[in-house]
């Protein structure tokens, strides 16, 4: 099923603008119009068209200036430039600036109709991803729109919001859906292994390399590669990754033969990469290479409309056919929770509730018990440094182990807060390497803790 487009026509020639608008309406699409770039920006402040078609030469803010504004503020929005016949140079420059296509005056109505057809997308579907809130439905629509391109997508958001789920949805919407989806967690793999896993290696490339192996880039050829927690990648490796993305080819460690790539790259981060660039912790050139299509995945507390559907999805997953449902009070309690650990925390809570529930209902009391169990480690008291496990009865050793882990987490959070989130400074104060700190943070997130 094809959906109707919303098209913004920007043209200072009133007669031509009217003709263009009439053609778009005859195609069954919706039309917005503006007489110049400044007026177009005012229209875009309150409207969200699927496509902008703009003349290049206009008295007040021409098409080139408008394009620069849109590439900065609305990078996902396709822009088609209209230029006079013989001004092909302007069209080429516009394409280099990020225009999606161009039309040379004069052109027949059929040319415009054919162009509209190329930008017409299937109606957005949320199959495979729970999305009932306006925020997530908007993300689905955006991903459906950009899925047909090979543009790199940067997914930002707190830990546990479901960035990998969003990446998989993008993959399914694209023409790469039949190809592989390969994910690698950049925070959970030691630095000396991550390069080999990404780029592959030849036999004898290093001690222990007994046979050649392809890397994740090669494995993902024809499909999508997810670089999870890209902000945790070492600066030296970032430079090598940048070259692979620019050249669209990779060389295995110990090899000298470039291997061409056809890979869509999606990166995720739970940090402010712009701030990381300013702090010298992330390469600016790599940031701009990754940030072609930026998508901010909102925290669960800002999309409460998704919580009932997510909870029911997890309930069905963990009951394995057992008839179980939420009481209305339990659902209301779920929607009232702050969910600092986001979807991952919700999933863990539902799994505990299924184990605790009796009969065919998850009551509010059961849910409250599941929530309390999930918060035990956050209220455990810290152990003093001179505590000795051998001084305690044997039955208390497991409890001490849990309290030590809670103490470690509290120390990490406290130090990170004191240094305004700087991983480098926090590692120095904790007396561990930055890589070890990144690993510990990744493990805490996997356990559902909001760090």
Phi, psi of 39 (to 5 degrees): -65, -35
**N-terminal to C-terminal alpha carbon distance within the chain:** 43
- pLDDT at 387 (0 to 100): 32
What is the DSSP code (8-state) at residue 304? G
What are φ and ψ of residue 55, in 5° steps? -70, 155
408 contact partners, CB below 8 Å, separation of at least 6: 440
pLDDT of residue 198: 93
**Domains along the chain with CATH numbers:** 6-119 (3.40.50.2300), 134-298 (3.40.50.300), 301-374 (1.10.8.60), 379-446 (1.10.10)
- The encoded tokens of residue 370 equal 């599941």
Q: Model's pTM, two decimal places?
A: 0.62
Per-residue model confidence (pLDDT) at position 9: 96
Integer angstrom CA distances of residue 227 from 167, 338, 399: 10, 28, 37
Angle in degrees, 0-180, between the axes of helices 434-446 and 397-418, rounded to the nearest 10: 120
- Residue 419 DSSP label: T
Tell me what pLDDT residue 88 has.
61
> Can you give the length of the chain in residues?
451
| 134 CA to centre of own chain | 17
The tokens of 292 are what? 């072609």
Q: How many CB atoms lie within 10 A of CB 299?
A: 19
pLDDT of residue 386: 33
pLDDT of amino acid 152: 94
Per-10-residue mean pLDDT, the chain, length 451: 77 92 88 94 89 90 90 81 71 71 83 80 59 90 88 93 94 92 87 87 82 91 95 92 94 91 95 92 94 94 91 85 85 91 91 88 91 52 30 38 62 80 79 74 69 63
| pLDDT at 358 (0 to 100) | 86
């Amino acid at each position: 099923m094809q959906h109707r487009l919303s098209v913004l026509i920007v043209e200072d020639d009133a007669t031509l603008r009217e003709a263009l608008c009439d053609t778009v309406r005859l195609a069954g699409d919706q039309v917005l119009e503006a007489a110049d770039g400044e007026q177009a920006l005012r229209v875009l402040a309150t409207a969200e068209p699927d496509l902008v078609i703009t003349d290049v030469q206009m008295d007040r803010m021409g098409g080139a200036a408008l394009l620069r504004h849109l590439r900065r503020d609305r990078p996902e929005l396709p822009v088609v430039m209209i230029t006079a016949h013989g001004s092909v140079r302007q069209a080429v420059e516009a394409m280099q600036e990020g225009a999606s296509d161009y039309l040379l005056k004069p052109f027949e109505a059929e040319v415009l109709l054919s162009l509209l057809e190329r930008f017409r997308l299937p109606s957005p579907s949320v199959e495979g991803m729970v999305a009932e809130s306006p925020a997530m439905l908007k993300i689905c629509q955006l991903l459906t729109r950009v899925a047909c391109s090979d543009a790199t997508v940067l997914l930002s958001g707190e830990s546990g919001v479901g960035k990998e789920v969003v990446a998989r949805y993008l993959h399914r919407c694209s023409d790469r859906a039949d190809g592989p989806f390969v994910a690698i967690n950049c925070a959970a793999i030691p630095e000396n292994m991550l390069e080999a896993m990404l780029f592959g290696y030849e036999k004898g490339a290093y001690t222990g390399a007994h046979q050649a192996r392809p890397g994740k880039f090669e494995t993902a050829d024809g499909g999508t590669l997810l670089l999870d927690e890209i902000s945790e990648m070492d600066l030296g490796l970032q430079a090598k990754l940048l070259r692979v993305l620019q050249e669209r080819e990779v060389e295995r460690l110990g090899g000298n033969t470039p291997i061409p790539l056809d890979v869509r790259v999606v990166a995720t981060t739970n940090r402010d990469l712009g701030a990381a660039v300013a702090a010298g912790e992330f390469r600016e050139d790599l940031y701009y290479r990754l940030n072609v299509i930026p998508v901010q995945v909102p925290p669960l507390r800002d999309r409460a409309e998704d919580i009932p559907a997510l909870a029911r999805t997890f309930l069905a997953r963990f009951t394995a056919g057992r008839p179980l449902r939420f009481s209305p009070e339990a659902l209301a309690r779920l929607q009232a929770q702050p969910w600092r650990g986001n979807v991952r925390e919700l999933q863990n809570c539902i799994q505990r509730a299924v184990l605790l529930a009796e009969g065919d209902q998850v009551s509010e009391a059961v849910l409250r018990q599941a929530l309390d169990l999930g918060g035990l480690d956050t209220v455990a008291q810290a152990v003093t440094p001179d505590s000795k496990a051998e001084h305690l009865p044997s039955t208390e050793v497991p409890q001490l182990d849990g309290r030590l882990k809670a103490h470690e987490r509290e120390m990490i959070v406290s130090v990170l807060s004191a240094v305004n989130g700087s991983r480098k400074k926090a590692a120095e104060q904790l007396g561990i390497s930055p890589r070890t700190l990144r690993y510990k943070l990744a493990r805490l997130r996997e356990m559902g803790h909001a760090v």
